[in-house]
Amino acid sequence: MLTIEAKAPVLGATVTGIDLRRPVPQAAAEALRAAIARHSVLHLPGQAVDDAAQVAFSELFGPLETTRAGADGAGSKLIVLSNVGPDGGIVPPTDRQVLNNRANQSWHHDSSFKPVPARLSILSAREIPSAGGNTEFASMRAAFAALEPAELARLRGLSAQHDFAWSRRRVDPALVTEAEAAANPPVRQPVVRAENPHGAALYLGAHARIIEGWDEAESRALIERLVGFATQARFVYSHRWSPGDVLVWDNRAVMHRATPFAATGERRRMVRTTVAG
């Protein structure tokens, strides 16, 4: 029987009584959709998913994004976040895979740099390190609700420019080619997303560069203050991965980031599918 149990006050629920290798009944799929809207992050332990099962499960929630050029898995429905190279060994710290993983250590919403940003991400643990390499989530609904009413009203009218090339080049100038920068021009997103029936959410993260109509210094001050506010411990859930874990999260309700691990000594391999907006 499908069971959904809240994990933490502001976000997260554990889902048991489901096997992602088998077709999910209509009623269970409905319950999962409702639980995502309510809890923002679902943890499905003990799943032995392979790529095909992960894609089939993810498609329950809508069409999937095709992985962008420059990411591991480009052109497919899978994005591989791994420090393991094609020969099966750990890649050197200068490798693009490692730099991409380092970029994921900044708080972000997946694909916020696309004109229509990602709705859900589904991430499965294939190999995990003995320590570190957690994935952390910050509730942007809880953070928004905790702001002063006057600030809340002011933020509702603002838009931010999300700029992929800018954010990745802050991590490492070599992380984005000119062609990739040209394929991902800056896009405008609302600072507050109001579509969730359980409450509006802040929407910022690593790609948010400036507030439309504001200068750079004022923009950075506001974005960094709000990201700092939203990532206080009271709004955050840190997921320590176990073998067989699958997480589903709502990119329009949470930011997330990876925590560091010993990337030159231990293997970490995660596979993501992404439900488009």
Binding site for ligand OGA (CB under 6 A): 81, 104, 110, 121, 123, 135, 256, 258, 270, 272
Question: Which residue ranges make up the site for Mn ion (CB under 5 A)?
Answer: 110
Q: Which is nearer to ligand OGA, 81 or 222 (CB)?
A: 81
- Residue 79 Cβ, how far from ligand OGA at the closest point, in Å? 7
- Least distance from C-beta 213 to ligand OGA, angstroms? 30
Least distance to ligand OGA from the beta carbon of 219, Å?
A: 24
**Residue nearest ligand OGA (C-beta atom):** 258
**Which one of Mn ion, ligand OGA, none interacts with residue 162, CB within 5 to 8 A by kind?**
none
d(CA 206, CA 204): 7
Minimum distance from residue 152 beta carbon to ligand OGA (Å): 28
Total number of residues shown for the chain: 277
Whole-number Å distance between alpha carbons of 121 and 200: 19
Task: Phi first, then psi: give them for residue 152, nearest 5 degrees.
Answer: -50, -45
What per-residue string of b and e applies to 104-117 under the rule 16 or more CB within 10 Å gives b? bebbbbbbbbbeeb
Which does residue 135 touch among Mn ion, ligand OGA, none (CB within 5 to 8 A, set by kind)? Answer: ligand OGA
Nearer residue to ligand OGA within complex by CB, 135 or 231: 135
Give least dist CB 127 to ligand OGA, A: 12
Residue 247 binds what, of ligand OGA, Mn ion, none (CB under 5 to 8 Å, by partner type)? Answer: none
Q: Are 122 and 65 in contact (CB under 8 A)?
A: no
Burial of residue 60, with CB atoms counted within 10 A of its CB: 0-12 exposed, 13-18 middle, 19 or more buried: middle
122 binds, among Mn ion, ligand OGA, none (CB under 5 to 8 A by kind): none
CB-wise, 39 or 207, nearer to Mn ion?
207
Query: Using an 8 Å Cβ cutoff, are 38 and 27 in contact?
Result: no
Closer CB to ligand OGA, 102 or 154, in the complex: 102
Other C-beta atoms closer than 10 Å to the C-beta of 53 total 17
258, interface contact from ligand OGA, Mn ion, none, CB < 5-8 Å by kind: ligand OGA
Q: By C-beta, is 155 or 270 nearer to ligand OGA?
A: 270
Q: From CA 40, how far away is CA 11, in angstroms rounded? A: 6
In the complex, minimum distance from the CB of residue 99 to ligand OGA, in angstroms, rounded to a whole number: 13
* Other residues' Cβ atoms within 10 Å of the Cβ of residue 152: 15
Phi-psi region of 156 (alpha: psi -120 to 50; beta: other; left: phi over 0): alpha
Closest to 196 (Cα-Cα) out of 247, 145, 155, 136: 145
Looking at beta carbons only, is 72 or 110 nearer to Mn ion?
A: 110
